[in-house]
Amino acid sequence: MSEQHIKLPEGSIEKTTTTLNLGPTHPATHGVMQNILELDGERIVSTEQTIGYIHRAFEKIAERRPLYQITPLTDRLNYCSAPLNNMGWHLTCEKLLGVKTPKRVDYLRIIIMELSRISDHLICNSIVGVDSGAYTGFLYVMQYRELIYEIYEEICGSRLTTNIGRIGGFERNFNDIAFQKIEKFLKEYPVVQKEFENLFTRNRIFMERTIGAGPISAERALNYGFTGPNLRAAGVDYDVRTQNPYSSYEDFDFKVPVGTTGDCYDRFLVRNEEIWQSLSLIEQAYKKVQEFKGAEAEIYHADVPEYYLPEKKDVYTKMEALIWHFKIIMGEIDMPAGEVYQSVEGANGEVGFYLVSDGGRTPYRLHFRRPCFIYYQAFEELTKGAMLSDAIIVMSSLNLIAGEMDA
Amino acid sequence: MTSDYIKQKLTEKFGEQVIGFEESYGMMTFESPKDINLKVLNFLFDSEDLKFRFLTDLCAVHYPDQKGREIAVVYHLHNLEDNVRLRFKVFADINKPDVYTATGLFSSANWMERETYDFYGVNFIGHPNLKRILNVDEMDYFPMRKEFPLEDQSRIDKDDEMFGRGGTLGFGTEKTDHGTLIEADKNNIGGEIV
C-alpha cells in the first residue's frame, strides 16, 4: 500500500525511533508524573518529564495561613514520611520565634523522625523489589509499616498525613501503648529487615537488574543538587543530621553509610543501612527518654505559651490556657520579622524551608526545598542509553514522590 | 571560615557592588546588582577557599512596594567542605525581570529556574528550556505575585451555603450602616491582603 491511500503524519516513515508515553497514570511511575521516552528498539535515546499534575499551590496558600495551619500542608509533600516534614516545619518556626525545646522533646522527635525514615525507606526499597519482579518483600514489610502507623496513631491520632507535633513540642505526651509499640517494633523489626535483605541483597536476579542501572558520579550528583540517600550512594557523606545537627542529633552515635557508584544497587544498600542506623537511633533515643523520671518525664513541650497551642482539655478547664488558645487562634500574636532557612534530613534528602516573615501572623513568603523536585531532573542523564526496564527501576529507586515534587 | 572573611573576599573582588551584608538567623546574606549575578556565583564557585559549589535552593520573592526592584531572586549556596551556608540575592524590576541563568554552573538550577519563571515570571536569560513546569502551559499570568491574593475567606458574594456564605441561610445579608454587606464586599474584592 502506498502513501496515496493512507495519510501518515509528516516524517513518520523516516522516523526510526519510537515514542513511548510513560505516565501520568502508569502503574510503574508510582505517582502522577509523565515521562515521554524516545526509544530506539529498547534503548532510551532521550526522555522528557512533565510534572505538576498534583500541584496544589501550597506556597501560595501558606501566605494566608498562620504558622500552625501550615503543618498540614507539609504533610502532603512527602506523604510517605509526613512526620519528617512536620518536624522540619516546627523547627523552622522555632528558629524564627527563638523557641528552645527541652531535651526530652528532642529525643521524642528523633524517635518519630527515625520511625518515619524507616517507613519511607522500606517502601522505597521494597518497591524497587516489586519493579524487578519480587513482590514478596513488599507485602512482608507492609506489616511493619502498619506497626509504625499505629505508633503515629497513638501519638497524634492519624496515620498517613500526621500533622504531628506543634511549635514547641507535641500535642500530648506519648502514652504507654505508644511506648509498648515502639518496644515491639524495636524487638521484631530487625529480624524482618534481616530477612528482607536476605531476599534481595545477594539475589542474583536482583543484582543483575540493579547493578549498573542509573549510575551517577559524585560530581554530577552534587551538580544536580542530589541530597540524601541518592547522593550518599554516589559516595558523598553529606547528611544534614551530622552537618547541621538539629533536635539534639549531636547527642547520638550513628554512622552515615555511603556507596560508590550511585547506581540502583548502591541506593538500595544505602537505604538498607540507613534503616539499621535509624533503628539504633530509635533505641538510643528510647533509652534516653526512659532516663527522665518524675516531673521531667511529663515534659512534652517547651514552655512557650505565646506560641504553643495548649491542649484541648486545658482550654476547656483552665483560664490561662483558654486565653492563650484565643490569642493564638485569633491571631493576636505576631511573629518577628526576618528570614529563616532551616533544613532537616528528610527521607529523600535535604527538606528545606525558606521562610520570609514581615511580622504579622502569616508568612510573607514560604518556599519549600523539595529534594525530589531537584533530583528528578537528572533522570534523563541517568537513563540515557539504558533499557526501558532500567528506566522503571531507576524511577522507583530514586524514590520519586509526586506530592513532594509538585508541592 | 567566618562571615567576615567571605565578606572581605567579596568586597576585594567586587568592591562597592556587593552590598547589604547581614547575618540573619545564622546565615550570611548579601546582594548584588543583577547584571553581575553570574560573576558573583562564578567567583564563589571557583575561588579556592570559598568553594560554594552546591546550589541548595533557588526561588524568588515579590516585594510590590519596592519600586524598580520588586522581584528578588534568592540563591541559597552551600560550601559542603567547610559546611558554610550563604544567601545571595539579586533584585529585578518587575517590568523587565531579566536575570542571567545559573544553569551553566549548576545543572540543578534548570528546574528551579523554570519554577521561578512559572510563579514569578523571572526571565532567565540563556536558560535552555524556559517554560512553565508546575502550572499549565496556557496560563497567562504569574500566580505567586502579590497582586493575586488568595480568596478572602470572609467573601460573601458567592452563593455557597454549605460553607456558610450566601445562600438561603441569610449569612451576610444583614443590613448594616453601609447598606448590605454584599455591596460593601463587592468594592473590596481583590483588594486587601491580610
Contacts with B83 from chain A: Cβ below 8 Å: 243-244
Q: Which residue among A95, A224, A374 places its CB closest to the CB of B25?
A: A95
pLDDT above 60: residue A3: no
Q: Domain tally for chain A?
A: 1
Q: Domain tally for chain B?
A: 2
Beta strands B123-125 and A34-40, pairing class? unpaired
CB contact under 8 A, B135 and A243: no
- Determine the 3-state secondary structure of A309 from DSSP: coil
pLDDT at B171: 47
**Does residue B73 sit in the same domain as residue B7?**
yes
Residue A38 resides in a domain: no
Q: How many CB atoms lie within 10 A of CB B5?
A: 12
Interface of A with B in 187-246 (CB under 8 A): 220, 222-225, 236, 238, 243-244
- Provide the pLDDT confidence category of residue A374 given band limits of 50, 70 and 90: very high
CB contact under 8 A, B115 and A373: yes
Q: Is B21 on the interface with A (CB under 8 A)?
A: no
pLDDT above 70: residue A185: yes
One-letter amino acid of A337: A
Q: What domain range is B192 assigned to?
A: 152-194
CB contact under 8 A, A365 and B61: yes
Mean pLDDT for all residues in chain B = 83
CB contact under 8 A, B111 and A376: yes
Residue A55 and residue A402 in contact, taking contact as beta carbons nearer than 8 Å: no
**Does residue B52 sit in the same domain as residue B113?**
yes
Cell numbers that stand for B49 in this block: 577557599
Separation between Cα atoms, residue A377 and residue A371, nearest integer Å: 11
* A contact test, residue of B85, B111, B146 with most A CBs within 10 A: B111
CA nearest B147: which of B63, B88, B75, B89? Answer: B63
Q: Is B133 on the interface with A (CB under 8 A)?
A: yes
Residue B25 resides in a domain: yes
**Does residue B17 sit in the same domain as residue B111?**
yes
Give the chain B residue nearest A405 (alpha carbons): B134
Give the chain B residue nearest A358 (alpha carbons): B63
Q: Which residue among A64, A375, A376 places its CB closest to the CB of B150?
A: A64
What's CA A69's distance to the chain center, in Å?
Answer: 20
**Does residue B107 sit in the same domain as residue B169?**
no
Residue B118 resides in a domain: yes
Q: What domain range is A136 assigned to?
A: 57-406
Separation between Cα atoms, residue A316 and residue A329, nearest integer Å: 15
The residues that bridge with B176 in the sheet, in sequence order, are B179
Separation between Cα atoms, residue A397 and residue A123, nearest integer Å: 10
pLDDT above 80: residue B191: no
- Determine the 3-state secondary structure of A29 from DSSP: helix
- Determine the distance in angstroms separating the CA of B28 from the nearest CA of chain A, rounded to an integer: 11
pLDDT above 50: residue B170: no
Separation between Cα atoms, residue A49 and residue A280, nearest integer Å: 38
**Does residue B23 sit in the same domain as residue B79?**
yes
Q: Which residue among B80, B106, B135 places its CB closest to the CB of A55?
A: B135
Residue B130 resides in a domain: no
Contacts with A354 from chain B: Cβ below 8 Å: 57, 59, 74, 76
Phi, psi dihedrals of residue A153, rounded to the nearest 5°:
-60, -40
- Determine the distance in angstroms separating the CA of B2 from the nearest CA of chain A, rounded to an integer: 16
- Provide the pLDDT confidence category of residue A181 given band limits of 50, 70 and 90: very high
Q: Is B76 on the interface with A (CB under 8 A)?
A: yes
CB contact under 8 A, B194 and A378: no
Strands (DSSP E) along A110-203, which ranges?
Answer: none
Residue A43 resides in a domain: no
Beta strands A43-50 and B84-92, pairing class? unpaired
Mean pLDDT for all residues in chain A = 91
Q: How many CB atoms lie within 10 A of CB A293?
A: 7
* B contact test, residue of A53, A365, A375, A382 with most B CBs within 10 A: A365
**Does residue B67 sit in the same domain as residue B13?**
yes
Residue A22 resides in a domain: no
Q: What is the CATH number of the domain that holds A350?
A: 1.10.645.10
Instruction: Show the CA angle centred on residue A63, arms to residues B90 and A241, nearest 5°.
Output: 70
**Does residue B9 sit in the same domain as residue B97?**
yes
Q: Is A103 on the interface with B (CB under 8 A)?
A: no
pLDDT above 60: residue B183: no
**Does residue B35 sit in the same domain as residue B96?**
yes
Q: How many CB atoms lie within 10 A of CB B14?
A: 17
**Does residue B109 sit in the same domain as residue B180?**
no
Residue B53 resides in a domain: yes
pLDDT at B175: 45
Residue B135 and residue B143 in contact, taking contact as beta carbons nearer than 8 Å: yes
Residue A370 and residue A97 in contact, taking contact as beta carbons nearer than 8 Å: no
C-alpha radius of gyration, chain B, whole number: 22
Query: pTM of the prediction?
Result: 0.90
Cell numbers that stand for B99 in this block: 536575570
Cell numbers that stand for A355 in this block: 521562610
Encode burial over A389-405: b for 16+ CB neighbours within 10 A, e otherwise: ebbbbbbbbbbbbbbbb
Separation between Cα atoms, residue A109 and residue A92, nearest integer Å: 14
Residue B69 resides in a domain: yes
**Does residue B26 sit in the same domain as residue B98?**
yes
Q: Which residue among B111, B136, B150 places its CB closest to the CB of A373?
A: B111
- Determine the 3-state secondary structure of B149 from DSSP: coil
> What's the N-to-C CA distance of chain A in angstroms?
51
C-alpha radius of gyration, chain A, whole number: 23
Residues B98-116 have a mean pLDDT of: 94
Residues A160-177 have a mean pLDDT of: 92
Distances (CA, A) of A338 to A93, A344, B61: 11, 20, 13
Residue B139 resides in a domain: no
Instruction: Give the tens place of pLDDT for each residue, B111-149.
Output: 999 999 999 999 999 999 999 999 999 999 999 999 888
ipTM of the complex: 0.90
Helical spans, DSSP H, in A247-378: 264-291, 312-317, 319-329, 371-375
Whether residue A24 is preceded by a cis peptide bond, meaning omega within 30 degrees of 0, is yes
Instruction: Give the tens place of pLDDT for each residue, A55-108.
Output: 999 999 999 889 999 999 999 999 999 999 999 999 999 999 999 999 999 999
Give the chain B residue nearest A356 (alpha carbons): B61
CB contact under 8 A, A367 and B59: yes
Residue A153 resides in a domain: yes
Chains A, B: CB contacts within 8 A come to 91
**Does residue B65 sit in the same domain as residue B121?**
yes
Q: Which residue among A341, A377, A406 places its CB closest to the CB of B134?
A: A406
- Provide the pLDDT confidence category of residue A27 given band limits of 50, 70 and 90: confident
Cell numbers that stand for A88 in this block: 522540619
Q: What is the CATH number of the domain that holds B57?
A: 3.30.460.80
pLDDT above 60: residue B184: no
**Does residue B101 sit in the same domain as residue B8?**
yes
pLDDT above 90 covers a percentage of chain A that reads 78
Contacts with B132 from chain A: Cβ below 8 Å: 52
CA nearest B76: which of A251, A244, A140? Answer: A244
